C-alpha cells in the first residue's frame, strides 16, 4: 500500500508542513461540492468503511509486507469528497497506533486519497467502456494502486537529501548512525553515492512487492464489488 510509515523527525519540516497545507486546501475544495444531505445519508457508510480500512491496514500479509487497505472500494462507495474525509480519519487513527508519525498525516491523507479518488474515477470510466463489472473493478484497483505508490515514492524521494544529512551529519555522527550502511573506505566520497543507491534500492524493493499486492487487492476488491452488486447494487450507483 502507499501508506508512509516514517516516524516523526524523519521527513524535512517543509515537506510535512506542505502536506498539511495542501491536505487542508484540497479538503476544503472537495467539501464545498458536498451536499449536507449526501453527507448525512452516507455518514454510517463512511464510518463502516473507515473501520474496514483501519482493520485492513493493521494486518500485514507476509512475506510481501503488504496491507490490504480497501481504499479503492471505499472510494467507489463514498465518492471523492467523502473518501478524503474517511482517509483523514483513518490516518489519524493509524498514527495513534504507530503506523507513521503525526507529522505525516497530511501526506498520507493526500497519497491515499489519490488512490481512492482515482479508483472511483477509473471504475466509472472502465464500467462505461467495458460494461463488465469484474474487469472494471480489477483494472481500476490496479491502476489506482500503481499511481498512488508512485506518489508515495515521490514523497519519500523529496526528502532524500534530508535523510542523508541525518545519517551523515558531522562526518557520520549525526542523529542516526546506520553503521551497517557504511562501507570501509573514504566515506566523504561515498556518502552521496550510498544515499542515492539506497533510494534506488528502496524503489527496486517496493515496486515488485507492490505489484503482487496490487494484484491481490484487485482480486479482493473485485470480489467485494461483485458481492455488493448482487446484494445492494444501489450503493455502486451504476
Instruction: For residue 50, give Cα distances in angstroms to 61, 77, 184.
Output: 20, 12, 49
Give the model's pLDDT for residue 76.
Answer: 94
Grid coordinates representing 85? Answer: 474525509
Give the helix/strand (H/E) hosting 67: strand 66-67
Q: Which three cell numbers stand for residue 177?
A: 548512525
pLDDT of residue 169: 61
Place of cell 487497505: 69
Distances (CA, A) of 58 to 17, 46, 99: 26, 18, 8
Alpha helices by DSSP H, the chain: 13-32, 36-57, 71-78, 80-96, 105-130, 133-158, 160-172, 187-231
DSSP category for residue 60: E
Domains of the chain: residue spans and CATH: 13-235 (1.10.1760.20)
- Give the model's pLDDT for residue 190: 47
Q: Which three cell numbers stand for residue 199?
A: 533510494
**Closest C-alpha to 220, from 142, 121, 132:** 142
Sign of CA dihedral 126, 129, 133, 134: negative
* Predicted confidence pLDDT, tens digits, the chain (238 residues): 678 888 888 888 999 999 999 999 988 888 787 777 877 888 899 999 999 998 888 777 777 777 888 899 999 999 888 999 999 999 999 888 888 889 999 999 999 999 999 999 999 999 999 999 999 999 999 999 999 999 999 988 888 777 767 766 644 454 444 444 444 444 444 444 444 447 888 888 889 988 998 999 999 999 999 999 999 998 898 8
Q: How far apart are CA 32 and CA 80, in angstroms?
A: 12
CA 217 to each of CA 1, 36, 100: distance values in angstroms, whole numbers, following the listed order: 9, 32, 22
pLDDT for 105: 93
* Residue the block writes with cell 475544495: 29
Residue the block writes with cell 472500494:
73
Amino acid at each position: 500500500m502507499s501508506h508512509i510509515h516514517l516516524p516523526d523527525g524523519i521527513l524535512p519540516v517543509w515537506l510535512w508542513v506542505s502536506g498539511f497545507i495542501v491536505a487542508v486546501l484540497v479538503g476544503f475544495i472537495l467539501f464545498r461540492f458536498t451536499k449536507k444531505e449526501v453527507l448525512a445519508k452516507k455518514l454510517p457508510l463512511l464510518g463502516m468503511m473507515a473501520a474496514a480500512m483501519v482493520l485492513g491496514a493493521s494486518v500485514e500479509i507476509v512475506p510481501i509486507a503488504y496491507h490490504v487497505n480497501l481504499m479503492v472500494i471505499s472510494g467507489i462507495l463514498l465518492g471523492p469528497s467523502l473518501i478524503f474525509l474517511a482517509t483523514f480519519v483513518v490516518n489519524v487513527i493509524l498514527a495513534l497506533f504507530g503506523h507513521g508519525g503525526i507529522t505525516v498525516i497530511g501526506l498520507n491523507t493526500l497519497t491515499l486519497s489519490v488512490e481512492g479518488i482515482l479508483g472511483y474515477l477509473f471504475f466509472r470510466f472502465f464500467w462505461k467502456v467495458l460494461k463488465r463489472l469484474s474487469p472494471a473493478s480489477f483494472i481500476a484497483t490496479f491502476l489506482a494502486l500503481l499511481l498512488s505508490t508512485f506518489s508515495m515514492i515521490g514523497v519519500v524521494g523529496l526528502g532524500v537529501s534530508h535523510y542523508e544529512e541525518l545519517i551523515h551529519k558531522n562526518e557520520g555522527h549525526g542523529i542516526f548512525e546506520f553503521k551497517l550502511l557504511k562501507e570501509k573506505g573514504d566515506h566523504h566520497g561515498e556518502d552521496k553515492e550510498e544515499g542515492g543507491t539506497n533510494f534506488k534500492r528502496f524503489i527496486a524493493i517496493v515496486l515488485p512487492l507492490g505489484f503482487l499486492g496490487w494484484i491481490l487487492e484487485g482480486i479482493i476488491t473485485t470480489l467485494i464489488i461483485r458481492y455488493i452488486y448482487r446484494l445492494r447494487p444501489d450503493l455502486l450507483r451504476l
